[in-house]
Amino acid sequence: MFENPDRKEPILLNNLSRGSSRTRQKCSICSESKSGACVQCIWPKCYTYLHVTCAQYSSLVPQTLAGKSGFVCNKHTSEVNDGAPDLGSCVKVKWSKREIYDARIIGYTTVPQYRVIFDNGTTNTVTEEFIYSLNEPLPRRVKDKLKVCTTIHQCCAR
Protein backbone atom coordinates (compact mmCIF):
# COMPACT_ATOMS: atom_id res chain seq x y z
CA MET A 1 0.00 0.00 0.00
CA PHE A 2 2.88 2.41 0.79
CA GLU A 3 6.11 2.91 -1.12
CA ASN A 4 7.82 3.63 2.22
CA PRO A 5 5.99 1.62 4.95
CA ASP A 6 7.95 3.26 7.79
CA ARG A 7 6.88 6.78 6.81
CA LYS A 8 3.45 5.61 5.54
CA GLU A 9 3.87 7.48 2.26
CA PRO A 10 3.29 7.75 -0.65
CA ILE A 11 0.22 5.60 -1.17
CA LEU A 12 0.62 3.22 -4.11
CA LEU A 13 -2.46 2.46 -6.15
CA ASN A 14 -0.69 1.61 -9.40
CA ASN A 15 -1.12 -2.13 -8.72
CA LEU A 16 -4.87 -1.77 -9.14
CA SER A 17 -6.36 -2.36 -12.54
CA ARG A 18 -9.65 -0.78 -13.58
CA GLY A 19 -11.40 -4.13 -13.28
CA SER A 20 -9.93 -4.90 -9.87
CA SER A 21 -12.36 -6.01 -7.16
CA ARG A 22 -11.08 -3.11 -5.02
CA THR A 23 -12.50 -0.61 -7.51
CA ARG A 24 -15.94 -2.19 -7.06
CA GLN A 25 -15.99 -2.31 -3.24
CA LYS A 26 -18.33 -0.06 -1.26
CA CYS A 27 -16.55 2.38 1.07
CA SER A 28 -17.70 1.91 4.67
CA ILE A 29 -17.38 5.66 5.30
CA CYS A 30 -18.98 7.36 2.28
CA SER A 31 -20.95 4.33 0.99
CA GLU A 32 -19.77 5.01 -2.59
CA SER A 33 -18.70 2.17 -4.84
CA LYS A 34 -18.54 3.99 -8.16
CA SER A 35 -15.58 6.28 -7.52
CA GLY A 36 -12.03 5.36 -6.58
CA ALA A 37 -10.41 2.22 -5.28
CA CYS A 38 -10.90 1.00 -1.73
CA VAL A 39 -8.36 -0.54 0.62
CA GLN A 40 -9.24 -3.29 3.05
CA CYS A 41 -9.02 -2.85 6.82
CA ILE A 42 -5.80 -4.49 8.03
CA TRP A 43 -7.48 -5.98 11.11
CA PRO A 44 -7.29 -9.78 10.86
CA LYS A 45 -10.32 -11.30 9.11
CA CYS A 46 -12.00 -7.92 8.61
CA TYR A 47 -13.57 -7.38 5.21
CA THR A 48 -14.40 -3.70 5.59
CA TYR A 49 -13.28 -1.48 2.73
CA LEU A 50 -12.64 2.26 2.64
CA HIS A 51 -11.26 4.93 0.34
CA VAL A 52 -7.88 6.21 1.50
CA THR A 53 -9.10 9.82 1.32
CA CYS A 54 -12.24 8.96 3.32
CA ALA A 55 -10.08 7.24 5.96
CA GLN A 56 -7.83 10.28 6.25
CA TYR A 57 -10.81 12.67 6.36
CA SER A 58 -12.28 10.56 9.18
CA SER A 59 -9.03 10.95 11.16
CA LEU A 60 -7.98 7.32 10.74
CA VAL A 61 -4.19 7.14 10.96
CA PRO A 62 -2.19 4.78 8.72
CA GLN A 63 -0.54 2.14 10.85
CA THR A 64 1.22 -1.19 10.74
CA LEU A 65 -0.50 -4.19 12.28
CA ALA A 66 0.86 -7.74 12.11
CA GLY A 67 3.32 -6.66 9.41
CA LYS A 68 0.64 -5.11 7.17
CA SER A 69 0.52 -1.36 6.54
CA GLY A 70 -2.79 0.39 6.00
CA PHE A 71 -5.84 1.57 7.90
CA VAL A 72 -7.84 0.00 10.71
CA CYS A 73 -11.57 0.61 10.21
CA ASN A 74 -13.82 2.37 12.74
CA LYS A 75 -15.05 -0.98 14.10
CA HIS A 76 -11.57 -1.85 15.33
CA THR A 77 -9.95 1.51 16.16
CA SER A 78 -11.11 1.30 19.78
CA GLU A 79 -9.40 -2.09 20.03
CA VAL A 80 -6.14 -0.58 18.76
CA ASN A 81 -6.22 2.62 20.84
CA ASP A 82 -7.46 1.11 24.08
CA GLY A 83 -6.56 3.37 27.02
CA ALA A 84 -3.91 6.04 27.49
CA PRO A 85 -0.50 5.40 25.95
CA ASP A 86 2.34 4.52 28.30
CA LEU A 87 5.12 6.99 29.10
CA GLY A 88 7.87 6.66 26.52
CA SER A 89 5.67 5.00 23.91
CA CYS A 90 5.80 6.11 20.27
CA VAL A 91 2.58 7.54 18.89
CA LYS A 92 1.17 9.39 15.88
CA VAL A 93 -0.08 12.92 16.62
CA LYS A 94 -2.61 14.70 14.45
CA TRP A 95 -1.29 18.27 14.62
CA SER A 96 -3.52 19.93 12.06
CA LYS A 97 -6.29 18.81 9.74
CA ARG A 98 -3.94 17.02 7.37
CA GLU A 99 -0.60 16.71 9.18
CA ILE A 100 0.32 13.71 11.30
CA TYR A 101 3.68 13.45 13.05
CA ASP A 102 5.60 10.76 14.92
CA ALA A 103 6.08 11.59 18.60
CA ARG A 104 6.94 10.06 21.98
CA ILE A 105 4.89 10.40 25.19
CA ILE A 106 7.04 12.27 27.75
CA GLY A 107 4.41 13.20 30.34
CA TYR A 108 0.77 13.76 31.17
CA THR A 109 -1.16 16.91 32.02
CA THR A 110 -4.68 17.52 33.18
CA VAL A 111 -6.67 20.51 32.02
CA PRO A 112 -9.76 21.29 34.12
CA GLN A 113 -12.91 21.43 32.05
CA TYR A 114 -16.25 22.86 33.10
CA ARG A 115 -19.75 21.83 32.02
CA VAL A 116 -21.90 24.93 31.50
CA ILE A 117 -25.57 25.38 30.68
CA PHE A 118 -26.83 28.34 28.69
CA ASP A 119 -30.16 30.11 29.12
CA ASN A 120 -31.56 28.28 26.07
CA GLY A 121 -30.86 24.92 27.74
CA THR A 122 -27.87 23.86 25.64
CA THR A 123 -24.78 22.60 27.43
CA ASN A 124 -21.11 22.61 26.53
CA THR A 125 -17.74 21.67 27.99
CA VAL A 126 -15.20 24.51 28.11
CA THR A 127 -11.78 25.17 29.56
CA GLU A 128 -11.06 27.96 32.03
CA GLU A 129 -9.78 30.32 29.32
CA PHE A 130 -13.37 30.75 28.07
CA ILE A 131 -14.94 31.50 31.47
CA TYR A 132 -15.21 35.00 32.99
CA SER A 133 -16.93 35.95 36.24
CA LEU A 134 -19.74 38.52 36.10
CA ASN A 135 -17.53 41.06 37.94
CA GLU A 136 -14.39 40.44 35.86
CA PRO A 137 -13.57 42.91 33.07
CA LEU A 138 -13.69 41.23 29.67
CA PRO A 139 -10.67 41.45 27.36
CA ARG A 140 -11.17 43.67 24.30
CA ARG A 141 -11.01 40.69 21.90
CA VAL A 142 -13.96 39.16 23.76
CA LYS A 143 -15.92 42.42 24.01
CA ASP A 144 -15.64 42.90 20.25
CA LYS A 145 -17.36 39.54 19.68
CA LEU A 146 -19.86 39.85 22.51
CA LYS A 147 -23.49 39.09 21.75
CA VAL A 148 -25.77 40.80 24.25
CA CYS A 149 -27.90 38.40 26.28
CA THR A 150 -30.46 39.73 28.74
CA THR A 151 -31.76 36.55 30.37
CA ILE A 152 -28.38 35.25 31.53
CA HIS A 153 -28.35 37.72 34.43
CA GLN A 154 -31.75 36.46 35.55
CA CYS A 155 -30.50 32.89 35.29
CA CYS A 156 -27.37 33.56 37.35
CA ALA A 157 -29.25 35.64 39.94
CA ARG A 158 -31.32 32.62 41.00
In the chain (158 residues long), the average pLDDT of successive 10-residue segments reads 61 55 77 81 89 83 78 75 74 76 86 86 85 84 69 52
Quick one: pLDDT at residue 124? 86
pLDDT confidence of residue 68: 78
* pLDDT score recorded for residue 81: 55
Confidence (pLDDT) at 110 = 82
- The whole-number pLDDT of residue 52 equals 84
Q: Are 50 and 73 in contact (CB under 8 A)?
A: yes
pLDDT reported for residue 2: 59
What is the pTM assigned to this prediction? 0.41
Q: What is the pLDDT of residue 23?
A: 62
For the stretch 26-42, pLDDT in tens is 888 888 877 778 888 88
Q: What pLDDT score does 130 carry?
A: 83
Which pLDDT value is given to residue 5?
62
pLDDT at 1: 56
Mean per-residue pLDDT over the chain, rounded: 76
